[in-house]
Amino acid sequence: MIDTISKPATKRPRRMAREPKPAGELATPPSTPTAEVEAKTAKPTSKSSLVLAMLQRPGGATIAQVVTATSWLPHTTRAALTGLKKKGYQVASEKAEDEERVYRVAAG
C-alpha cells in the first residue's frame, strides 16, 4: 500500500484581475509625462503622410520620386494617389512634352 502525504499549501491564493491590490502591493502614483517622454513616444511619420507632403510641394512629385522615397512599387504608389482622392484631396496631374507626369495636391 502506498502512503500519500499531502503537502501543505504554500502558494499564495489567486486573486482575480479586477480585484484591488492589497495595501502592501500599491505602486507609486504615475508621474505626469514630461516633454522628453512625449518626444520619445511620438508617432513616427507614415509613408502616406510623406507622399502627401511630397505632392504638396510647389513642384509636385513624379511617380519615380515617390517610389524612391517610399520604396513602394509604382502600382502601389498609384493606388496611394487614388486613396488620397478618395479621402477628398484634389490630386492633379500634368505632363509636359518629353517629361514625366507630375502629380500635385492643393495645399490645405
Each residue's pLDDT tens digit, 71-89: 999 999 999 999 999 999 9
Work out the burial of residue 78: count CB atoms within 10 Å of its CB; fewer than 13 is exposed, 13-18 middle, 19 or more buried.
middle
So what's the pLDDT on residue 10?
76
* CATH number, domain containing residue 64: 1.10.10.10
**Has residue 51 been placed in a domain?**
yes
d(CA 83, CA 97): 27
Q: How many domains does the chain have?
A: 1
User: Which is higher by pLDDT, 68 or 1?
Assistant: 68
**Has residue 1 been placed in a domain?**
no
Query: Which domain, by its residues, includes 63?
Result: 45-105
**Has residue 86 been placed in a domain?**
yes
**Has residue 19 been placed in a domain?**
no
d(CA 17, CA 99): 64
Q: Find the mean pLDDT for residues 34-46.
A: 64
Each residue's pLDDT tens digit, 49-69: 999 999 999 999 999 999 999
**Has residue 23 been placed in a domain?**
no
**Has residue 7 been placed in a domain?**
no
